[in-house]
Amino acid sequence: MTERITKDMARNIYFGGGLFAILVFVGLTFDTVHRIPELSHADKITKSVVAGKKIWEDNDCVGCHTLLGEGAYYAPELGNAFKRLGGGNKEAFRSFMQGWMAAQPLSTPNRRKMPQFHLTPTQVNNLADFLIWTSKVNNQDWPPNIQG
Residues 1-51: tens digit of each pLDDT: 557 889 999 999 999 999 999 999 999 999 989 988 888 888 889 999 999
Return the biggest CA–CA distance within the chain. Answer: 78
DSSP state of 3: S
Query: What pTM value is reported for the model?
Result: 0.77
Residues 51 and 116 occupy one common structural domain:
yes
**How far apart (Å, rounded) are the C-alpha atoms in residues 13 and 1?**
16
Are 23 and 84 found together in one domain? Answer: no
- Of 117, 21, 142, which is closest to residue 64 (Cα–Cα)? 117
pLDDT in tens, 99-145: 999 999 988 787 778 999 999 999 999 999 999 999 988 877 777 77
Query: CA-to-CA distance for 142 and 69, rounded, in angstroms?
Result: 7
Asked if residue 60 and residue 3 are part of one domain, the reply reads: no
Q: Quickly list H helices, 1-147.
A: 7-40, 47-58, 81-86, 90-103, 121-135
77 and 116 co-located in one domain = yes
The residue range of the domain holding 79 is 44-148
Q: Are residues 50 and 118 in the same domain?
A: yes
